[in-house]
Structure 1
């Protein structure tokens, strides 16, 4: 169980769910030309999860000092799992992820895609060891990687299957995946900033230079408050432009995405304590999950 917590099994399940929804709820039911069979797609999911798990492990290894202050009851590396074991697991997950990425890239006839897995693996290490200490840079980089976990489905499923006849359809569905990736990126940026505010004490002691450390907890909260309006306005625009004819779809977005985003914004403006920001971090993750689950309602939109 300690190793499962080390690799953040709940987060990995969420990544797997997001990728599953993209293939089996968004693409497959509409007869879209796709590249991977069930086995190939399973390998793509395993590849993504292995690299993500490696990222969580190396992050915990480098965060030992800060975690002892920020979340002493949840420290794993150095307590229930030795640092040596953590490094071994990091290497194993990375090797499996990169090798499977190499195989998949050749399987779909796009050997250049292999570079993507190498870059992801490298960025996760650089993020944990250096980038997360820089103002906003680490927040943006890790959020791009979260978005890539969605875009990679479009890259491997749609692009290799493009023909002159289906080009427009393939592009339409790739744009849908990209839109969801942008939503995931923005929500993750907000969540990363909230976590930085929550962890300001430990980060400061470790000599990091996050946004809350640079401008103060209150100002950082106001910046996050302002950024949170971006996904809210984008979702409202998206629903008003593409889904306004479907009342059940609109109701879903109003209840499970737009209303929680408004609540998040209000609470961000009022948040003061570490407990407040811990709650907001969980709320942001829940909004991201319900945002992805909205893919289920696309059959009402695309078949209209």
Structure 2
């Protein structure tokens, strides 16, 4: 009986440890963000990049899936290397989450980092040598950002936003589609991501200050950071106005109307914010704007989309 009880106890303990390490690994690679980018790439391919192709032909295009998987692997690697360089800072800014992520040994994370980057490069190379080169440069850029650029004033925020939108450029290359509407959409997303990075710097002010990160709040202060955020908010209205006024967006114009209101609501919130949890609320709103924006792509030509999917399943 004692041996059986000991076996059950060790088995439960092993399962608990495995679950904890799995959660730690998923947290390290920011699995939620990786999935959102993958969905965004797929929807962009179907409804923006290649509107002339049938859904069936896009779904059966193995090279598109290789690009999406390669992007997901490279992004996951980027999050891992970013965690390595930010570990001391994150222990100050988000101790509980960092302790969870520390459940996986650093040697294991290094192994995962090299594996996912190799997967990204190899799958990209299968698509074409240009895609392989793209992913090699993207992987290097994420390492260089985490190692050097992140601590440089303004450049760190700029690179973070650029790297977040970069996975969509490989789709431009693949479909050879550089329509103006896509570039304006990209500009809108870039500005939203820039705002999010600025709010993250305000959240992480204590850790950045302790670790000598030269972020905008650390060097120029919270007031200037809020002024810059305000400037980005009004600047974001420019691509929104261009998209709504000059391009056919279908029902997606409702999304832009709603998020314009949400962005304006965030302005008094950020000016009244003094504590981390208040900045976290604004950060959450911006993440919702990005997440809803991904699925709002479906609204560009909703009747046609419904017809195409009906054709697909009949």
The interval holding the TM-score normalised by the smaller chain is: 0.7 to 0.9
Aligned match for 2:45, one of 23, 26, 40: 23
CA distance in 1, matches of 2:69, 2:281: 30
TM-score by length of 2: 0.82
Q: Answer whether contact 2:81 2:113 (CA < 8 A) is retained.
A: yes
Q: Give a deviation string over 1:251-283, Cα, whole Å, max 9, x none.
A: 34312x222122223322332221111111111
Q: Answer whether contact 1:77 1:83 (CA < 8 A) is retained.
A: no
Q: Answer whether contact 1:264 1:284 (CA < 8 A) is retained.
A: no
Q: CA deviation at 1:26?
A: 2.9
Relative distance call for 1:64 and 1:74 in structure 2 (3 A) is same
Question: Are residue 124 (structure 1) and residue 124 (structure 2) matched?
Answer: no
Question: Are residue 283 (structure 1) and residue 305 (structure 2) matched?
Answer: no
* Runs (5+) with no aligned partner, structure 1: 106-110, 160-169
Question: Are residue 268 (structure 1) and residue 270 (structure 2) matched?
Answer: yes
Q: Counterparts in 2 of 1:1-304, with a 5 A limit? A: 1-31=23-53, 37-76=60-99, 79-105=102-128, 111-156=129-174, 158-159=175-176, 170-172=177-179, 175-243=180-248, 248-255=251-258, 257-299=259-301
CA distance in 1, matches of 2:159, 2:54: 31
Count of residue pairs brought into register by the alignment = 282
Relative distance call for 1:187 and 1:249 in structure 2 (3 A) is closer
Q: Answer whether contact 1:54 1:93 (CA < 8 A) is retained.
A: yes
Q: Answer whether contact 2:131 2:170 (CA < 8 A) is retained.
A: no
Q: Answer whether contact 1:64 1:77 (CA < 8 A) is retained.
A: no
Q: What's the Cα RMSD here?
A: 2.5
Q: CA deviation at 1:232?
A: 2.2
Q: Answer whether contact 2:226 2:271 (CA < 8 A) is retained.
A: yes
CA distance in 2, matches of 1:15, 1:198: 23
